[in-house]
Amino acid sequence: MLITQLKDREIIESLICGKAFVINCHGCKEVFFDEKGANELQKELMEAGKLTGILTTDYICNPENMKLRLERYAKQIEEADTVLVFSCGVGVQTVSEYLADKRVCAACDTFALPGYQGVTPLEYDCDQCGECYLNLTGGICPITACSKSLVNGQCGGAKDGKCEVNHDMECGWERIQRRLAQVGRLDVLKKCPVQVRNYATYKDINKE
Ligand code: SF4
Ligand code: SF4
């Protein structure tokens, strides 16, 4: 299982450059999630004219179902410069892959809780690190897409795009750089301060 917590309000607001389209996932994130806080924030953003629409659904980690649902909101998504996703890290990655040309941001951090994980087909992986980095990495998780879980960029060992640890795997940081270039956000990596990972938020459920 997992716990999803809202990022600080200031952080969420800073993610919206112009207008945003909001996606709420009511799948497994409901455990301990501040639904009231999220609703109030979204209501205020809507009244301030900062949202083009809101889609509330469940299990956005299922790419097929999610695709069908998003198609109905194509116009509102087109009008938004940011898609703000209130879900666990897997949900954000699924949306980010589908809307590859769009700026997709995570409004929540995902923490681990031992137990059943829901019905996600797990196309994408989230290690529930408790401090979601997807807003810096174009929606590709640096914890699971990089063999060393590096959060400040490439180790320099990749050869022909393959990871030096696992030659069968594409270097996660090359993928991140390509994605950021695709959405015109390479400057994020240049401008952001060095990330110091807070392991206090991380609980390795595999070791329990
Ligand atoms: S950075 Fe990766 S592991 Fe951490 S919460 Fe986000 S998706 Fe999950
Ligand atoms: S080669 Fe790429 S994916 Fe592999 S450890 Fe280095 S940065 Fe991470």
pLDDT per residue over 178-206, tens digit each? 999 998 899 998 888 899 998 888 766 55
Residue whose entry in the numeric block shows the structure tokens 């980010």: 96
Which residues have CB under 6 Å of ligand 1? 89, 109-110, 126-129, 132-134, 141, 143-144
| pLDDT reported for residue 27 | 75
Q: Which atom of ligand 2 sits closest to the CA of residue 145?
A: 3
Convert the pLDDT of each residue in 35-59 to its tens digit.
899 999 999 999 999 999 999 998 8
Q: Where do the structural domains in the chain lie, given as residue ranges?
A: 2-132+192-202
What distance in Å separates the CA atoms of residue 165 and residue 142, rounded to the nearest whole number? 15
Q: With a cut of 60, say whether residue 73 has pLDDT above it.
A: yes
107: tokens are 């409004």
Q: With a cut of 60, say whether residue 30 has pLDDT above it.
A: no
Residue 103 CB-density burial (10 A; 0-12 exposed, 13-18 middle, 19+ buried):
buried
Count of CB atoms situated within 10 Å of the CB of 87: 29
DSSP-assigned letter for residue 136: T
Q: With a cut of 60, say whether residue 29 has pLDDT above it.
A: no
- Give per-residue burial for 111-124: e unless 16+ CB within 10 Å, then b: bbbeeebbebeeeb
Ligand 1 center from residue 156 Cα (angstroms): 22
CB-based contact 85:107 (threshold 8 Å) = yes
114: tokens are 């031992």
Residue 67 pLDDT grade (very low, low, confident, very high; cuts 50, 70, 90): confident
DSSP-assigned letter for residue 193: P
User: What value does the mean pLDDT of the chain take?
Assistant: 89
Classified as helix, coil or strand, 108 is strand
Q: With a cut of 80, say whether residue 157 has pLDDT above it.
A: yes
* Lowest mean pLDDT segment, chosen from 47-51, 88-92, 116-120, 195-199: 116-120
| pLDDT reported for residue 62 | 83
What distance in Å separates the CA atoms of residue 198 and residue 208, rounded to the nearest whole number? 20
Q: What is the mean pLDDT of residues 77-92?
A: 94
The answer, yes or no, to whether any atom of ligand 2 lies below 6 A from the CB of 154, is: yes
Domain boundaries 2-132+192-202, CATH class: alpha beta
Q: With a cut of 80, say whether residue 60 has pLDDT above it.
A: yes
pTM score > 0.85 for this model? yes
| pLDDT reported for residue 120 | 57
What distance in Å separates the CA atoms of residue 194 and residue 12, rounded to the nearest whole number? 20
| pLDDT reported for residue 125 | 85
Q: What is the mean pLDDT of residues 136-159?
A: 96
What distance in Å separates the CA atoms of residue 108 and residue 133, rounded to the nearest whole number? 10
Residue whose entry in the numeric block shows the structure tokens 């923490």: 111
| pLDDT reported for residue 141 | 96
